[in-house]
């Protein structure tokens, strides 16, 4: 009887050839799906704010995705529902729980790589929504 191989292979993908692209006011997202996870590269232009750009798309008062992010450039200010704020700078790694607003501080675009929470980011409510990865 022949054995079925369960050996996994190496997956390598590149943000220059993403599996999916999304564009939203003052920002864009490139998604890669690999190893059962979603990894996204987000670019947020100066003046971007979640509550201005994506609140009407998400149809929630605050961003309800949890994020695990590596911050490549720029300054992203995150404010939790209780008013607590934190600035995320280039080189930082942040874990942001659901229930937050966020915005770009200054004149430099924010570039970040997110390892959790982008499956539905900037995707209209009710359109093939899935649990964030």
Is position 121 within any domain? no
What digits encode the pLDDT tens for the residues 85-116?
999 999 999 999 999 999 999 999 999 999 99
The C-alpha atoms of residue 44 and residue 85 are separated, in whole angstroms, by 18
- pLDDT for res 131: 42
- pLDDT score of 121 more than 90: no
Number of domains in the chain: 1
Parallel/antiparallel/unpaired status of strands 27-34 and 75-80: unpaired
Residue 45 CB coordination number (10 Å): 16
The answer to whether 132 and 118 are in contact (CB under 8 A) is yes
Q: Is the dihedral of CA 98, 92, 129, 38 positive or negative?
A: negative
Q: Which of 117, 101, 131 is nearest to 39 (CA)?
A: 117
Is position 48 within any domain? yes
What digits encode the pLDDT tens for the residues 7-26?
789 999 999 999 999 999 99
Could you tell me the residue range of the domain that residue 95 belongs to? 20-114
């Amino acid at each position: 009887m022949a054995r079925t191989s369960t050996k996994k292979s190496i997956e390598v993908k590149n943000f220059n050839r993403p599996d999916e692209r999304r564009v939203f006011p003052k920002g864009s997202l490139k998604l890669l799906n690999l190893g059962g996870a979603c990894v996204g590269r987000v670019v947020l232009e100066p003046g971007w704010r979640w509550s201005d750009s994506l609140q009407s798309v998400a149809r929630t008062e605050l961003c309800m995705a949890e994020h695990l992010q590596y911050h490549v450039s720029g300054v992203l200010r995150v404010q939790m529902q209780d008013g607590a704020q934190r600035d995320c700078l280039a080189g930082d790694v942040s874990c942001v729980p659901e229930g937050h607003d966020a915005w770009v501080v200054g004149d430099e675009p924010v570039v970040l790589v997110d390892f959790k929470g982008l499956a539905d980011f900037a995707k209209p409510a009710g359109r093939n929504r899935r649990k964030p990865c």
